[in-house]
Amino acid sequence: GQQLNQSPQSMFIQEGEDVSMNCTSSSIFNTWLWYKQEPGEGPVLLIALYKAGELTSNGRLTAQFGITRKDSFLNISASIPSDVGIYFCAAHNAGNMLTFGGGTRLMVKP
Amino acid sequence: ETGVTQTPRHLVMGMTNKKSLKCEQHLGHNAMYWYKQSAKKPLELMFVYNFKEQTENNSVPSRFSPECPNSSHLFLHLHTLQPEDSALYLCASSQGLGDTQYFGPGTRLTVL
């Protein structure tokens, strides 16, 4: 199936730095989601975005639903070691299956 | 705790074994999904059930057999698997078909 283009594929940053990752698509979606997956676990929903232009925060995480409805970004401020994991974007339209990005592997150096 | 549980968390089986994976959701959702996640590959949707009826089979080999006895439980029966079937198998559920999905912790399967 169609896959979202997620970048970067991996990031190795210093604790305390801010992180930014994004997803783009050639198709329009009505819902964008961001998940985090830690080793040996399933993806956990972090933020859900339902409206174009919407900016939503969850603690140190902020995500935006692009105005064109073809992209989304996730920012993490002041990273800490427990932010380590793989971050997935996903998107869908009502009644349709989720389409996933390839994931961004985040590594944080204490 | 996401409300979706999976058992076992880890499974090692030989190619001739028969085993089953179990998923249970406590969220009152009507749709349930099986995904396969292999190393360095995107999530692969395998099966979709909505109100206990299978709505999607993504060209999955017949050695994987799903079962959905009710909206809260989903099984994946495994038989005569191959080593390349080793992966993390994830279950997810959503309120309705295509709604936001909530994932279980997965079963790490190793086929020897």
- Which pLDDT belongs to residue B2? 64
- Please state which of the ranges A51-60, A64-73, B51-60, B74-83 shows the lowest mean pLDDT: B51-60
Task: Please tell me if residue A94 touches chain B, with a CB cutoff of 8 Å.
Answer: yes
Which chain A residue shows the shortest CA-CA distance from B41?
A: A102
How distant is the Cα of B69 from the closest Cα of chain A, in angstroms? 22
User: How confident is the model over B74-99, as pLDDT tens digits?
Assistant: 999 999 999 999 999 999 999 998 78
Q: What does the alpha-carbon distance between residue B29 and residue B52 come to, in Å, rounded to a whole number?
A: 11
User: If DSSP codes are grouped into helix, strand and coil, which group holds residue B102?
Assistant: strand
* A-chain residues near B21 (CB < 8 A): none
Closest partner CB to B108 (pick from A40, A43, A102): A40
Q: What does the alpha-carbon distance between residue B26 and residue B94 come to, in Å, rounded to a whole number?
A: 11
Task: Please tell me if residue A5 touches chain B, with a CB cutoff of 8 Å.
Answer: no
Interval B46-70 mean pLDDT: 91
Single out the residue of A45, A47, A78 nearest to residue A62, CA to CA.
A47
Which chain A residue shows the shortest CA-CA distance from B1?
A: A44
The residues on B that touch A, with CB distances below 8 Å, are 2, 4, 6, 42-43, 45, 48, 56, 88, 90-92, 96-98, 100-106, 108
Which chain B residue shows the shortest CA-CA distance from A36?
A: B103
* B-chain residues near A42 (CB < 8 A): 2, 4, 6, 90-92, 103-106
- Which pLDDT belongs to residue A76? 98
Query: Would you place residue B36 in the very low, low, confident or very high pLDDT band (cuts 50, 70, 90)?
Result: very high
- Which pLDDT belongs to residue B111? 95
- Which pLDDT belongs to residue A75? 98
Query: Would you place residue B57 in the very low, low, confident or very high pLDDT band (cuts 50, 70, 90)?
Result: confident
* A-chain residues near B91 (CB < 8 A): 42
**Residue B67 confidence (pLDDT) above 70:** yes
**Residue B1 confidence (pLDDT) above 80:** no
- Please state which of the ranges A55-69, A83-97, B73-87 shows the lowest mean pLDDT: A83-97
Which chain A residue shows the shortest CA-CA distance from B90?
A: A42
Query: Would you place residue A96 in the very low, low, confident or very high pLDDT band (cuts 50, 70, 90)?
Result: confident
Query: Which residues have CB under 8 Å from A38's CB, separation 6+?
Result: A44, A84, A85
**Residue B8 confidence (pLDDT) above 80:** yes
- Which pLDDT belongs to residue B41? 78
Interval A30-53 mean pLDDT: 94
Interval A39-66 mean pLDDT: 94
**Residue A105 confidence (pLDDT) above 60:** yes
B96 near B30, Cβ under 8 Å? Answer: yes
B86 near B106, Cβ under 8 Å? Answer: no
* B-chain residues near A43 (CB < 8 A): 43, 90, 103
- Which pLDDT belongs to residue A2? 55
